[in-house]
Structure 1
Amino acid sequence: MIDFLSRLVVSFSGFVATIVLTRTLGQARYGTYVVIISVLAWAMIASNLGLDQAIKKRVSEATDGNYVIAGAIVQIGLYVIVAGCLWLASPYLNAYMGFDATLILIGLLAVRLVGNFVRTVLNGQHLVHVSSLLSPIELTSRSIVQIPLVIAGFGVTGAVAGYAIGAVVAALIGSYFISFDPSLPSRQDFTRLKSYAQFSWLASVKGRTFLSMDTLVLALFVSNSLIAVYEIAWNLASLFAIFGSSISRTLFPEISQLSSEEGVSGEVVGLLRVALAYAGLFIIPGLVGGTLVGDIILQIYGPGYDTGYYILLMLTFARLLYGYQRQFLTTLDAIDRPDLTFRINAVFVAANLVLNLAFTWQFGWYGAAVATTLSAALGLTLGYYYASTVITVDIPFDEIGKQALAAGIMAGVVYSLRTFVDDSLPLVLLFVGVGAVTYFSALFVLSHEFRTTVADNLPFRIPTLVWSYL
């Protein structure tokens, strides 16, 4: 719950901060900023190679071994190699990004890797609640610096500086809660990290492929202004997916510990079912709501952003598919079957790259959105297939259906309001609030499981919930 609430705060704060950036920088310069951050994300993948997943897995299950120090040593070595490659490629990188940012990129990479390492160790040590709080801290610190600098006229440089400072603040705070053995690790510690990372590295590539392969390919074929609109649509789609991401992140260390102690037990099967039941809790109504009022919501970011309406719908659907896929792959990783996720990820990455290049070349940004959606559908199919070979998969169709039905009821209410009332932005924002209340109220009535889950997670008992146990 802490992880979800922190992600909710981060998403809302990021929503507000992004509005300031888009309206102050304009589409072209905001698009340049997006491209820089996308290149940074891929540089992080090259500097990690699955190390974070290996550290999280080994730390979460370990009763011995010094995986924190071993992981830190490997991470430093990888950073030095990648930083050198970035420096050598600086002329080409600067031309691609449309900004002389290679030195900045190398500095940002160091900061982001430290922050990522801190979060990984905290998650592995079952301190997900602490790790989760670092995200709102980082975004708040970033915005405090970023927004004044951008408004003061520092443009893309100011936006990047705020990004770096926010990451530094979060890393420093998170490092306080890490516990580790300062002694030198053994050779076996490095070997066990390698044995997991040799399969899990592709998971990082797959995740980044889904999140920003389309952005990198778009930079080859369309202007930075269109990339800015595409990225805003992607951010809104991702806003609806935070609950599913929070579930997978929270359950990984629990399933990992259970499987290392008891093997693939019925409790692991139950946790996967719960993850699937709630992965679409927010994004299903988000897709329906986006269909009804997405065109108006996009106007918040400034003139011209409403052209991304259909992109928003396609990317939201892609996030829905990917959210379910993620629960299968997280479970496979947690039960120590990275070999299976490796196969899934290899197909996903190859398909995503080929589809993005082919479809974007032919159909522009709509092609990129379609390629991302098809890749997510393929990954979900493979995730279900491989998970079902090693674990009993109980798909909660009844709960997913009730969420869809509740979203349909919400759609009826919101559509009626929009039909009979003016389409001004303040009223549409009010419609969003009414729709959210309608959806959760309907789901509360329709689903006994949802009522029970709400009651179990409240810090106090509400009399009207007592009947849900009957």
Structure 2
Amino acid sequence: MSDTEASDVSLGGETLKATLAKFTMAVAGLVGTIVFARLLGPVGIGGYYLLMTVIRLSTRPVGGLSTAVQKRLSESGFAVGEAMTITTSAALAWTALNVGVAYLLRERLKSFVGFEDAVLAFGVLLGTLNLFILYQGAISATGRIGWSRWIDTTRSYLTLPAQLALVWVGLGAAGMAYGEAIATAILLVPIFNAAAAFERPTLETAKSIWEYAKYSIPNRYLSRAYSELDILILGVLLTETAAGHYGVAFRLSIPAMFIAMVASSGLFSRVSNLRSKDEPIAEDVHNTLSFTSLFAIPMLFGGAVLDRQLIVTLYGSEFGPAAPLLTGLLLFQLVRTQSSPLEKVVGALDRPNVMTRVYALLLVVNTIIGVGFTLWLGAIGVVIATILAETLRYAVLAVYLRRDQPVFSLFPRALIAQLFSGVLMGSVLVGAKTVVRVDSWLILGGMIGGGAVVYFTVLFAVSRRFRETVLGTLDDLYPAWRDVLNVE
């Protein structure tokens, strides 16, 4: 692995590169969903999604192990080669165990996913994904989240033609699994070369990794249960239609989290590295919290104004009831953009046990109020419950961190400028909506683009911190830009 440590890397520059990768990858995902839904129909693509559900459950322990790897390898001076030997062996053993179980239950697995090659498809895709997830965590430990995310994005763009070719020759849903496995295996070569460094492990290194993994692994399951709880409550208490409305609204809200997702990962490695060297971390936490809501704020205000137009234009009039759900979920994502970095800081301070207790609390609270509010208010009730639960997560983490790190500023001034810009943008959209009828893709696109221009123009004008961050990030990515544009 590289000798570069997370604190040596520009978090702003890496976040920008990783966020661009996220958006680029989202395009591939959207195109793939549309293409294969048309080629395979709901039954065929449904079988692939069911197989992926089983695989995601099976990769959770390796995902938790990857978090432990990222934590330990981000610590200055940790035994990299020993850690990679231990975790690679564990990932391979876990894969073998899962494939064995899948073979024993092969008839049930075939019946569940609906195609014959279920066990083979499960095995090859699980094996490649487990190693990919593990080595991606090792690369992220160095702070190079931009490179890590672009590797993942490249995987998405290799997956699409591989899947298309295999589906085209008649392999159906199994071909989609094989296609993703092939693309993942190809990208394993560079990611393996970057992360691999094997040495004979010691018991001390194994204990250190396990001390973290014994919490990060169940945390993966708890966080997944927390994120899937809404759709489960709707499916049990209401109808498939309500779950469908929630699903499309949630998908539209996901880009609000892009910056927070990638910045939180970089912050995790950076804080862990700084803490291992007894260096201060408050500035990095403050800088990250200042801009993790950069997309969520305009999306909330824009979504509140254009919620129905967005839903109906994209999905059709039958999805109109999803409009209020979209506004609520955008508010949830805004709170989440502030709570997610705090969760990563807690983990980076070597307190994964705190997150285990927090997620256990959230599951109980969200289940109780989610069921009650859904029975009382319908689908919007589960959204309100989720907002309250996420607010509770933020409050608990904030109180914990303020006690452990009293110098933290949990509400940066940059957020005030973003909220001001968002309110102004929303006001402009309300005015434009009274003049222009939003009834086509072209007009909707113009409204969204115009709102974005207003938001970022106002923010650039009123926030010196935003200006400095933008220009500083450009300096990190392309130092010669000032000479090219003749700017001081």
Aligned to 1:409: 424
Aligned to 1:329: 343
Q: Tell me whether 1:269 sits opposite 2:271 in the alignment.
A: no
Aligned ranges for residues 109-188 of structure 1 at < 5 Å?
109-146=126-163, 156-157=173-174, 159-181=176-198, 183-188=199-204
The Cα shift of 1:383 comes to 1.1
Structure 1 residue identity aligned to 2:66: D
Contact 1:34 1:231 in 2 (8 A): no
Specify whether residues 258 and 435 from structure 1 end up closer, same or farther in structure 2 by C-alpha distance, changes over 3 A only.
Answer: same
The Cα shift of 1:236 comes to 1.8
The normalised TM-score by structure 1 is 0.85
- Partners of 1:150 and 1:184 in 2: CA distance: 43
Which shows bigger deviation, 348-357 or 132-141?
348-357
- Partners of 2:332 and 2:315 in 1: CA distance: 25
The Cα shift of 1:218 comes to 5.0
- Partners of 1:71 and 1:336 in 2: CA distance: 18
Aligned to 1:6: 21
Find 2:125's aligned residue among 101, 108, 118: 108
The Cα shift of 1:442 comes to 0.8
- Provide the secondary structure at the position in 2 that maps to 1:262: coil
- Partners of 2:331 and 2:170 in 1: CA distance: 37
Find 1:44's aligned residue among 59, 83, 108: 59
- Partners of 1:127 and 1:352 in 2: CA distance: 35
Q: Tell me whether 1:253 sits opposite 2:269 in the alignment.
A: yes
- Partners of 2:437 and 2:166 in 1: CA distance: 37
The Cα shift of 1:48 comes to 2.8
Contact 1:321 1:376 in 2 (8 A): yes
Which shows bigger deviation, 137-146 or 228-237?
228-237
The normalised TM-score by structure 2 is 0.82
Unaligned runs of 5+ in 2: 1-15
The Cα shift of 1:120 comes to 0.8
Specify whether residues 397 and 60 from structure 1 end up closer, same or farther in structure 2 by C-alpha distance, changes over 3 A only.
Answer: closer
Aligned ranges for residues 190-339 of structure 1 at < 5 Å?
190-216=206-232, 227-262=243-278, 265=280, 268-299=281-312, 302-303=315-316, 304-339=318-353
The Cα shift of 1:260 comes to 0.4
- Provide the secondary structure at the position in 2 that maps to 1:176: helix
Q: Tell me whether 1:15 sits opposite 2:30 in the alignment.
A: yes
- Partners of 2:91 and 2:235 in 1: CA distance: 29
Structure 1 residue identity aligned to 2:308: D
- Partners of 1:61 and 1:192 in 2: CA distance: 12
Specify whether residues 111 and 58 from structure 1 end up closer, same or farther in structure 2 by C-alpha distance, changes over 3 A only.
Answer: same
The Cα shift of 1:9 comes to 1.5
Contact 1:22 1:302 in 2 (8 A): no
Structure 2 residue identity aligned to 1:256: S
- Partners of 1:238 and 1:340 in 2: CA distance: 26
Aligned to 1:453: 469
Contact 1:297 1:425 in 2 (8 A): no
CA displacement, residues 165-202 of structure 1 (integer Å, 9 cap, x when unaligned): 44333333422322413x32111121111111123224
- Partners of 2:103 and 2:221 in 1: CA distance: 22
Aligned ranges for residues 392-431 of structure 1 at < 5 Å?
392=406, 393-423=408-438, 424-431=440-447
The Cα shift of 1:349 comes to 3.6
Percent identity between matched residues is: 22
Find 1:73's aligned residue among 89, 110, 116: 89
Specify whether residues 274 and 10 from structure 1 end up closer, same or farther in structure 2 by C-alpha distance, changes over 3 A only.
Answer: same
Specify whether residues 228 and 244 from structure 1 end up closer, same or farther in structure 2 by C-alpha distance, changes over 3 A only.
Answer: same
- Partners of 2:190 and 2:319 in 1: CA distance: 36
Q: Tell me whether 1:58 sits opposite 2:72 in the alignment.
A: yes
Aligned to 2:397: 383
Contact 2:92 2:127 in 1 (8 A): no
The Cα shift of 1:93 comes to 6.3
Specify whether residues 377 and 80 from structure 1 end up closer, same or farther in structure 2 by C-alpha distance, changes over 3 A only.
Answer: farther
Structure 2 residue identity aligned to 1:261: K
Which shows bigger deviation, 238-247 or 304-313?
304-313
Structure 2 residue identity aligned to 1:283: A
The Cα shift of 1:21 comes to 4.7
Contact 1:260 1:335 in 2 (8 A): no
Aligned to 2:13: none
Structure 1 residue identity aligned to 2:259: F
- Partners of 1:123 and 1:307 in 2: CA distance: 40
Contact 1:52 1:120 in 2 (8 A): yes
Contact 1:35 1:215 in 2 (8 A): no
Contact 2:325 2:380 in 1 (8 A): yes
- Partners of 2:412 and 2:243 in 1: CA distance: 37
Aligned to 2:5: none
Which shows bigger deviation, 11-20 or 67-76?
11-20
- Partners of 1:298 and 1:151 in 2: CA distance: 32
- Partners of 2:114 and 2:53 in 1: CA distance: 13
Structure 1 residue identity aligned to 2:214: Q
CA displacement, residues 80-122 of structure 1 (integer Å, 9 cap, x when unaligned): 3444455556676677767788524444332321221121111
The Cα shift of 1:390 comes to 0.5
The Cα shift of 1:465 comes to 7.8
Specify whether residues 124 and 401 from structure 1 end up closer, same or farther in structure 2 by C-alpha distance, changes over 3 A only.
Answer: same
- Partners of 1:220 and 1:85 in 2: CA distance: 29
Specify whether residues 350 and 210 from structure 1 end up closer, same or farther in structure 2 by C-alpha distance, changes over 3 A only.
Answer: same
Aligned ranges for residues 435-446 of structure 1 at < 5 Å?
435-446=451-462
Which shows bigger deviation, 48-57 or 325-334?
48-57
Structure 2 residue identity aligned to 1:384: A
Structure 2 residue identity aligned to 1:454: V
- Provide the secondary structure at the position in 1 that maps to 2:195: coil
Unaligned runs of 5+ in 1: none
- Partners of 1:364 and 1:147 in 2: CA distance: 40
- Partners of 1:75 and 1:152 in 2: CA distance: 32
Specify whether residues 124 and 49 from structure 1 end up closer, same or farther in structure 2 by C-alpha distance, changes over 3 A only.
Answer: closer
The Cα shift of 1:156 comes to 4.6
